[in-house]
């Protein structure tokens, strides 16, 4: 996969992000919780999954800024954070 694209499967999106050291930001709680469990079971690492609740764009931005201020990239490894 040369680049993550809208419409790519969830496993490909997470693989792409993990290979490049990116965290994933998603509303898709169910699928990404399952993928995180699969990664854990396989001994594979991802760089973090941030799962969004139904909030205003301003609240999402505020919470994302908090995550960026409170967590290092190393601390995000294999984490699922709900905002």
Separation of alpha carbons 53 and 29, rounded Å: 9
The answer to whether residue 47 is domain-embedded is yes
What's this model's pTM, rounded to 2 decimal places?
A: 0.88
In a domain, 21, yes or no: yes
Residues in Cβ contact with 47 at an 8 Å cutoff, skipping those fewer than 6 apart: 17, 18, 21, 22, 23, 73, 76, 77
pLDDT band at 3 (very low <50, low <70, confident <90, very high): low
How many domains, in total, are found in the chain? 1
Among residues 1, 42, 4, 41, the alpha carbon closest in space to that of 25 is found at 4
> Is residue 14 domain-resident?
yes
CA–CA gap between residue 37 and residue 43 (Å, rounded) = 10
User: Per-residue pLDDT tens for 24-80?
Assistant: 999 999 999 999 999 999 999 999 999 998 889 999 999 999 999 999 999 999 999
């Amino acid at each position: 996969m040369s680049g993550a694209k809208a419409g790519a499967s969830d496993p490909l999106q997470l693989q792409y992000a993990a290979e490049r050291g990116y965290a994933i930001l998603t509303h898709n709680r169910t699928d990404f919780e399952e993928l995180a469990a699969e990664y854990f079971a396989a001994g594979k690492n991802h760089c973090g999954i941030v799962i969004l609740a139904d909030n205003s764009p301003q609240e999402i931005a505020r919470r994302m800024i908090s995550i960026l201020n409170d967590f290092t990239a190393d601390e995000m490894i294999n984490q699922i954070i709900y905002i």
